[in-house]
Amino acid sequence: MSGGEGGNDSYGRKPFKRSGSHFADRITADGRDGWPVASGRYRLVVSRACPWASRSLVSRRLLGLEDALPLAVADPIQDDRSWRFTLDPDGRDPVLGIRYLSEAYDRRESHYPGGVSVPAIVDVPSGQLVTNDYQRITLDLATEWTELHREGAPDLYPRALRDEIDEVMADVYEDVNNGVYRAGFAADQKEYESACAGVFRRLELLTPRLARQRYLVGDTITEADIRLFTTLVRFDAVYHGHFKCNRWKLTENPVLWAYVRDLYQTPGFGDTVDFDHIKRHYYEVHTGINPTGIVPLGPDLSGWLTPHHRAELGGRPFGDGTPPGPVRAGEKVSSAGRP
């Protein structure tokens, strides 16, 4: 999720096109891009409001990389310089010493295209941005950071299933992950209707698949589930109303509602979600489509913890592995952000 291109009031006033990840270096076991995997060397910068950043939060926790890849959490309310560290004392990230994520971008390259986006990984010694490639970051956490995974970490991108996972993720990205944004930021009726129809068409295609199996691919949680979850968990809270994806609510689809509750109640998923950050970001920052900045009171969040009965479909959430341990004290979501 990016910002800094035309200011917050530009949302919804011009045709929407998602920027590519300009900084696509990879952090790998062999360091072939100049960035070797190393415990404590890098800092993961996220917003808990952002679905793209939330992927990395879930993956990092499932894989047990909290110590190896320390976390910086940006304020959900951007100004026109984008992501800022006003949640930290003195408004600076305590490790990087910067007020805005853009400072790490500037140390890497000046006059870069595409705005300032999260998730971002910053090299602590140099203070430079390494990558903002949200599509690749989580795949590399799963496949390149394996020496630093916790004991019992699940295989989120199993080699035997990668072709199917990639196919499912491509459809979900186009129609759902990115589709809600194309609907919400549409500049005319035709653009909106096309995007909105695509969102619900894909959700309706996924419904029978998830009616017969617990997870999207295979019988364990994979990267595909993480990517769908981060959109679905935001659906009723922001996409249904704010982005006008309102043919039906997620709670009105028994299969998808049970599926996302199952994941939410799985350690590593719901314990990374902050509904307060999510709602305040979308409704307060996107002044081009919500000029009053009013944040709605609903929806009721109590249903997230109700029984889902998905275990009746079988499946092993962590495969041959184990759940992650308790959330670290410094990374717990505030009580205001939880059901």
- Active site residue: 100, 105, 181, 192, which one? 181
Strands 42-46 and 71-73: parallel
Report how far Cα 329 is from the mean position of its chain's Cα atoms: 21
Cβ–Cβ under 8 Å, residues 260 and 216: no
The H or E element spanning position 2 is strand 2-3
CA angle 122, 126, 128 (to 5 degrees): 40
What's at 56, amino acid-wise?
Answer: S
Active site residue 134: no
Cα 75 to Cα 280: distance, rounded to the nearest angstrom: 10
Q: What is the DSSP string of 84-133?
A: B-TTSGGGS-TTT--SBTHHHHHHH-SS-SS-EESSEEEETTTTEEEE--
Active site residue 181: yes
- Active site residue: 11, 42, 50, 215, which one? 50
Cα 279 to Cα 54: distance, rounded to the nearest angstrom: 14
Q: Which residues contact 221 (CB under 8 A, 6 or more apart)?
A: 62, 154, 156, 215, 263, 266, 317, 318
Q: Which residues contact 10 (CB under 8 A, 6 or more apart)?
A: 288
Catalogue the active-site residues: 50, 181
